[in-house]
Structure 1
């Protein structure tokens, strides 16, 4: 009996013409009445045909062309019947996929959930106008009307896509060799503290990927221990492989970098965390360096004049009309915001460019303009405009997704070298690199004598700025020898010193790394690929395991918290004053979809649910 149960029966193609049966999903189906038999045995099929359709023997003789033609007709009719029911299902699947794609587009643009209704209404107006006279216009309009993008559907779509993107990230996190994270905390529109964690992963082929790892709300206090507990709980819940952690980048808040109670201090005191590097965000430090310039005697009056003009609506309108009549370079002044990285430089540039128009406007109102006519103050304004413009250029170089530590250290070193050139030029009473100062000296004949007196003061400012760069970026400068070797492994270095630096920074065996460096620098095959962008991919990771590990860890390093700052802008756009009721879960899902570089797997999403047309 056991052997009998194991026996498998198969459908035979000759039964179609002989007994009017076919197979549908491994089930024998009668072409005449649509009945099925339990087992694909000839006896069962033959008994059903003789019992129920014996007359077919008389009308369609066996083995005749007429019988074969009738079998084909019946089979075609069954196929039409099946397609009649599958067509709506496919149509619903297409509508659901379109719903996912439209939702993905809307969330990428940071639109509200209710905007889907507006999009669909506009889409239907266009369809009814353009397609109503077309051949299949009614079917196309009906298909478009089936797309589900209502205010209750979009949140479900966003949640499903977010889960799909997180699954892709989890798979990459399991595959990656090393990773680093950057953390920052800010407050949303409802005063809820939100902690953002971004991750940068490096893989076996030395490719990298930067993604949002978590958005974690901090409901009460935001002390270092609160941040640590929240992050640790998330890591344990998601089973993040902490042994792969290389570095953590944060801002300079005491809650983050406090020596005893900061987030980093708690992480370093936790045995579950490996020995990792920690860096204060380069862009934040560069912004702090800019504060040593001082020149409050320039900045304070500038801000006061701008606020005075723009604070009164009537006065502001008259000023803009004046700028338009005088064909000024700009149409308005900018307000200064201390917390924005580029604000000071842009405000000063706009103010300096409109200095003549501002003076005329104040004269027309009978206000004192003696300060705006003071040559020394104008020179100070021009110098401050030029130097903050150069700092803004550096800031923009440090910003951006995909920026490596190599790029940032190179930009900082280039800026330090430029500072030396600027200082030398000023000592020689030259202003080749200060266009605003040049324009003042060119337009004002008496300004040359004043410049000779203040040039030394400008040199002191530049030297003070350069010294502050040296003091603040000492951690990065300690990393520079390692980064330089990874960028150019064939450079002439002291192999012992280089090996010790690599081993101390990345927890490697100094002796083994030194031997690998010597072997690599004498490898003629690798020398042929010197300078290739994918050089480390060409190395034998088994033969040069130490230096390849160091190269991977360098590739995984964040240099700034730019991604967090950028994502906070997106978060405030999503959860604005008009959408304060959005939940933390929906905010997290929306932000994940908005900033992720992954593409949702639409086929998986559609197949995982029951597709229905919009009602």
Structure 2
């Protein structure tokens, strides 16, 4: 009996401790909301509510599931309030807030009958206005004040987004969008609704701030996606000139997210000084460090131009940069040269501009006669280059070969380009290089359109340079892409025997499934 008495005393202490915890957790002082516990003699009785969903008994108190509010609870005079990340019932009569464990019809009804007996026969039409009044007084996310403010802010952001998407001045929101919205609301809804629009801020500074915040949020999402990419990421650099003639460095990134491949703009930054490779690398390296991005494995193709062709290209760059940086642009009022060529503007050359070499050399080749007259008037050393037939021949060849590479690069672009397409196109280009080498060795230059427009054919020395360059280019491509043969079953999956494929790789089984798919057969025939 002594041992039983001690055990009962310990259980009484435990029960009282739990009751104290319920009171401190924000109940309305009714410690029996979760069930009343009484100690009688040597027995402990637990008065449990008669709800079938009551699974939060005395034992396992710390692992109780969170209960959710049901809109039908308004008939008991209760609405929901959020506090500490959980939903709590709040009485619309006395404003008391019960614990989450009390979010049960029987307990809510008990509170109504015990504390507000005069209102226990009222229906939900009586309690709904009281609930709306309580919500208007709240400042949390469930209150009307918060919801109204959130709607106003959301409207401001969406208008700022439209302004940015349509590339309009920030002032258009306040000077045009808001007045137009007021006119529409006035004639369609009424004067009272117009006053509500006054609380939507669309000033110049607000729109600018909204756009900057959305831009920052998008950048954070892209960087987070790059960090979390399971298979790493690849980048592409593009340097362009804006309307103010300032150099802008654009960096695009491709990564995987949610089992899909995404391509996003990673960085857009003005190059304030020069556009050398060192400057671009420093910008990219600083961005990676600031955003804690790891450098991937990037393969930089070596320059395979023979010395004389490389010297010609460097001379072309100097000519173009001299004309552009000196503001001696063809076609200006103080220039006596009349433009008769199809190209009327020279393009800057830079190591990172996409397709820059082909565009630069082609533009200079088409403007060679006009530039020669121009440099003759200025008595500049560049006159000798444009009078040299070998220089012009090399310039024509560079324009042709860079144009072919540009065409190959463009064929790799687009959302529907697959790995098999890449392999097929690259393999075809390698075979073209073999064909071009044989043609040059036989003194046939018809595949180089600009080179064939010249009066004199390339001499033996220049022909050897072309063959040497094409051979180096093929060797470089084969080094980075050693296997340019596409698997036969990719192009012709229904004419290949699965038994001829490697065992244990899953390719045999996958090809068998494809060959048994009638829908796939129909699509393949199309």
TM-score category, normalised to shorter length: 0.5 to 0.7
Deviations 1:176-230 (A, max 9, x none): 7xx35448999xxxxxxxxx996744988xx54567999xxxxxxx9xxx99xx9
Match for residue 381 of structure 1 among 395, 399, 404: 395
Residue pairs, 1:172-211, within 5 angstroms: 179-182=231-234, 200-201=255-256, 208-209=261-262
Which among 526, 529, 547 is matched to residue 516 of structure 2? 526
Seen in structure 2, the aligned counterparts of structure 1 residues 364 and 13 have a Cα distance that, compared at 3 Å, is closer
CA distance in 2 between partners of 1:374 and 1:15 (Å): 94
2:297 to 245, 250, 271: 250
1:512 counterpart residue number? 504
**After superposition, what is the alpha-carbon deviation per residue over 1:308-328, rounded to whole angstroms, capped at 9, x for unaligned?**
433434x44765765895354
* Superposed displacement of residue 351, structure 1: 0.9
1:391-413 Cα shifts (integer Å, max 9, x gaps): 22223344567865444333322
What corresponds to 1:124 in structure 2?
174
How many Å separate the matches in 1 of 2:464 and 2:79?
88
Superposition map of 1:303-314 within 5 A: 303-313=317-327
* Distance in 2 of aligned mates of 1:431 and 1:12: 82
Q: 2:373 — aligned with what? A: 360
Query: Aligned to 1:250, what secondary structure does the other structure show?
Result: coil
Match of 2:446 in 1: 432
Instruction: For 1:316-465, list aligned pairs within 5 A.
Output: 316=329, 322=335, 325-326=338-339, 328-340=341-353, 342-365=355-378, 369=383, 371-398=385-412, 405-427=419-441, 429-440=443-454, 447=455, 450-451=456-457, 454=459, 456-457=460-461, 459-465=463-469
CA distance in 2, matches of 1:463, 1:432: 15
Which runs of 5 or more structure 1 residues have no equivalent in the other structure? 55-61, 187-195, 215-221, 236-247, 252-279, 441-446, 500-510, 535-615
CA contact (8 A) 1:200 1:210 kept: yes
Structure 1 residue 467 corresponds to structure 2 residue 471 = yes
**What is the aligned partner in structure 2 of residue 40 from structure 1?**
108
Give a deviation string over 1:439-459, Cα, whole Å, max 9, x none.
33xxxxxx2xx31x52x5554
Contact 1:306/1:335 (CA < 8 Å) preserved in 2?
yes
Per the TM alignment, residue 349 of structure 1 is displaced from its structure 2 partner at its CA by: 0.8
TM-score, normalised relative to structure 1: 0.50
Q: Is the 8 A contact 1:488 1:531 kept in 2?
A: no
Report whether the alignment pairs 1:90 with 2:147.
Answer: yes
Q: Is the 8 A contact 2:92 2:127 kept in 1?
A: no
Counterpart of 1:81 in structure 2 is: 133
Could you list the runs of 5+ residues in structure 2 that have no partner in the other structure? 1-35, 38-45, 55-68, 81-88, 99-106, 138-142, 187-192, 239-250, 268-280
Instruction: Give a deviation string over 1:110-158, Cα, whole Å, max 9, x none.
Output: x9xxx9xx83x54222245434545144422422449995787777766
Whole-angstrom distance in 1 between the partners of 2:385 and 2:470: 30
Give the structure 1 partner of residue 47 of structure 2: 4
| TM superposition shift of 1:528 | 4.7
Aligned to 2:347, the other structure's residue is in SS state coil
Do the aligned residues in 1 keep the contact of 2:78 with 2:90 (CA within 8 Å)? yes
CA distance in 2, matches of 1:520, 1:131: 58
Q: Which has the higher helix share?
A: 1
Deviation by residue 1:55-79 (Cα, 9 ceiling, x = unmatched): xxxxxxx9xxxx99xx85x556436
- 2 CA distance for matches of 1:420 and 1:374? 30
Deviation of 1:357 (Å): 1.5
Query: In the alignment, what sits opposite 1:24?
Result: 79
Contact 2:424–2:485, Cα closer than 8 Å, also in 1: no
Deviations 1:484-537 (A, max 9, x none): 6556556659977x63xxxxxxxxxxx523xx5556666684375668999xxx
Any idea what SS the aligned residue of 1:78 has?
Answer: helix
Q: Contact 1:99/1:147 (CA < 8 Å) preserved in 2? A: no
Cα 1:7–1:14 shift into 2, 3 Å = closer
Q: 1:495 to 1:476 in 2, by over 3 A?
A: farther
Q: CA deviation at 1:426?
A: 4.1
**2:116 partner SS:** helix
Shift of 1:354: 1.2
Indicate the residue corresponding to 1:142 in structure 2: 199
State the secondary structure of the residue aligned to 1:288: coil
Alignment length (residue pairs): 408
